[in-house]
Structure 1
Amino acid sequence: MRPLPTPQLRVRNARRRISGATGAATAISRVLPAPLHPEILPDVPTPRVLAPDEIRLQADIAAILDRAAAGEAAARTGAAIDALRAIREAAGEGAWPEVALGTVRAHPLAELLWSCPLTAHAYRRPRGYPGDAGLLDLIYRHPDAAEAVAAAGDIGRAVYAVTRDSAPCRSVRERREILARTIDRVAEERPGAEMLAVACGHLREAEISAALGAGRVARFLATDQDAESLRVVADRARTLPPAIACRPRSVRDFIAAREDLGRFDLIYAAGLYDYLDDRIAARLTRRLFALLKPGGRLVVANFLPGLGEQGYMEAFMDWWLIYRTEAAIRGFAGEISENDIRAARYFPDEAGCVGYLELERA
């Protein structure tokens, strides 16, 4: 597949957060190639006149990317990631989406970067929202993603070799391992344990969980708003002992609590909170915590600020996350009475990219 074309780019400067109705997030400040998305942005405002400092910024960006566009594909990819970090910091939060993104995406270097199957998948959003389970399979280097990798060609695979081993991708793979270990630990501590995965994606942690593979989990409910993800989970669950059940469920469904799902020894949400605003995150945490049995655990994760790859993710993957400090992640429990919490534990991953909050119910 050819990389995304770059002429006639359109800029939308609007911040949109996750919808409780769909449980999916959309990007902020997207720059879309018009020929690929004729149904998006039908009304294009007249471009405003740039200020002199904005014109200088665009010229500086082009010069920086020109310097990054030398050498082999892997070297250019690493240089682009470093350059985009510097560009984003120099532009600032306002000029980055309004002035810088169009120049970045129109640069010839974009063609190389969009040849990467991971980068192109994120930008195209085949399921209509960012960070989908197919993208995670590419990060996991899962066999289900092998066809997309093979189709990328030699150059695309060279770029992919760099992007898949970036710090945030390593953290996503570590997150999978952390979840699998947590499942195994709770299954050992609480025989006959019942568990709930929120926004489960393809539930790849189940494939490496010893407890699920050995049938030591009595009940495992996998929920997601994406029917295709649940189809993949249901198909894979046939190879595991009959503990996993699938149910379509959005963030709004959990917050509204329209259905009694029972009580659980472990509930976790891995990649969901990166797209929730603070108010929704706190409400969801309270609702999920209420579904725990006494002594049960809730585990949630969120990316931390300071990610060196943030500029690349936003520019060429159109992947916009809400980054939170340890204090903000601990704040997810703000609507829960302290009397109901037996223990609260925060810990970062090895790379310092993702923070985890574990709450134990009294």
Structure 2
Amino acid sequence: MVRVAERLDAVAAGLAEQEGPEAHAALADRTIEALRALRDEAGAADWTAAAVPAVRAHAVGALMQVCPLTRYAFARPRGYPGDAGLLDLIYRHPDADGALAEASAAGRAAYAVTSGTAPCAAVRERRRILAGAIDRAAAERPGAAVLAVACGHLREAEISAGLRDGRVGRLLATDQDRESLARVADRADAPAVATRRLSVRDFIAAKATAEAEIGRFDLVYAAGLYDYLDDRIAARLTRKLFGLLRPGGRLLVGNFLTGLREEAYMDAVMDWQLIYRTQAQIRAFAAEISEVDLAGANYWADSAACVGYLELEHA
């Protein structure tokens, strides 16, 4: 087993000559890199059983809690990981300004590093990709119907030209989190936006009558949701969501890819665990969809190869 305390002691000792907020910025970057190396050396079993508790018990792990992004993820104020408030911090959204204002100068310096990592940049890019998908649907089918699954605060709607220009006929925003849906309903500028509380279980268990009530859509998308679903549930949900498409409609889903430098930091210090997947595993989301119904399947990765996207077109 790797010696976690010794390695993190070395990280802290290397910063002894630095002072002020810059020290925490450097600490954040070096901690991310040190934990990446520790995880690679430890292996999955030792990492989970021994290394993660040791990281959290070490002074460096505690010091990183001054970062508002790290602290929010670890605290899970809504009771589950990766909630919409955390995404607002990653987006650098104005609604997160209060949390940043309350942070210390050291915390803000650490946040500049953590929020600037490739995975966080990928989340911001994902927001633009989702807005682009809405705009594409609106351009191809004026009055398009859109379904957002696990919508969070629906921040992509704020930058969608299709919604702003009134070319989206209906956007149904669904989530299991009442607080997120209340925020969407309160802030929705477009009259096309409506909310409904629906969980993954609701979609999977829905009968034909319930599906008819929800309606059919030209675009269905779910971005961060799949990072938390096991393979079996992911495939079942994909089949159900695909079944809500109109002919020629598209389903867009995303999932973080394996091999991220920051994965160990997210796991050990932020207590934020995702299910990372390969391209083949993401493509397998479509395993339960009949080839007769599938007009096309397109996979691509984002600009930093952090998130893989699967787009399925209904025949």
Q: TM-score, normalised by structure 2?
A: 0.95
Q: Is 1:348 the equivalent of 2:301?
A: yes
Which sections of structure 2, spanning at least 5 residues, go unmatched?
Answer: none
Which amino acid letter does the alignment assign opposite residue 298 of structure 1?
L
Give distance in 1, aligned partners of 2:64 and 2:181.
31
Q: Is 1:147 the equivalent of 2:98?
A: yes
Q: Is 1:312 the equivalent of 2:261?
A: no
Residue number among 59, 62, 67 corresponding to 2:5 in the alignment: 62
Q: Report the equivalent of 2:54.
A: 103
**In the TM superposition, what is the alpha-carbon distance from 1:111 to its structure 2 partner?**
2.5
Which amino acid letter does the alignment assign opposite residue 62 of structure 1?
A
Runs of 4+ in 1 over 6 A off after TM superposition: none
Residue number among 220, 238, 241 corresponding to 2:190 in the alignment: 241
Q: What SS is found at the alignment partner of 1:272?
A: helix
**In the TM superposition, what is the alpha-carbon distance from 1:105 to its structure 2 partner?**
1.0
Q: Deviations over 1:256-283 (max 9, x none)?
A: 1142311000000010000000000000
Give distance in 1, aligned partners of 2:140 and 2:11.
52
Give distance in 2, aligned partners of 1:178 and 1:275.
20
Q: Is 1:254 the equivalent of 2:203?
A: yes
Q: Report the equivalent of 1:43.
A: none
Q: Report the equivalent of 1:120.
A: 71
Q: What SS is found at the alignment partner of 1:339?
A: coil
Structure having the larger proportion of residues in helix: 2
Give distance in 2, aligned partners of 1:316 and 1:348.
27
Q: What SS is found at the alignment partner of 2:252?
A: strand
**In the TM superposition, what is the alpha-carbon distance from 1:102 to its structure 2 partner?**
1.6
Q: Report the equivalent of 1:186.
A: 137
Correspondence 1:282-321 to 2 at 5 A: 282-321=235-274
**In the TM superposition, what is the alpha-carbon distance from 1:339 to its structure 2 partner?**
1.2
Which amino acid letter does the alignment assign opposite residue 102 of structure 1?
P
Q: Report the equivalent of 1:204.
A: 155
Give distance in 2, aligned partners of 1:214 and 1:290.
28
Which amino acid letter does the alignment assign opposite residue 66 of structure 1?
D
CA contact (8 A) 1:196 1:266 kept: yes
Which sections of structure 1, spanning at least 5 residues, go unmatched?
Answer: 1-53
Give distance in 1, aligned partners of 2:239 and 2:107.
43
In percent, how many aligned pairs have the same letter?
65
CA contact (8 A) 1:112 1:156 kept: no
**In the TM superposition, what is the alpha-carbon distance from 1:101 to its structure 2 partner?**
1.2
When the two chains are superposed, the root-mean-square deviation of aligned CA atoms in Å is: 0.8
Give distance in 1, aligned partners of 2:130 and 2:247.
20
Structure 1, 161-170 or 60-69: larger mean CA deviation: 60-69
Q: What SS is found at the alignment partner of 1:114?
A: helix
Q: Deviations over 1:240-264 (max 9, x none)?
A: 2310000000001000114231100
Which amino acid letter does the alignment assign opposite residue 167 of structure 2?
R
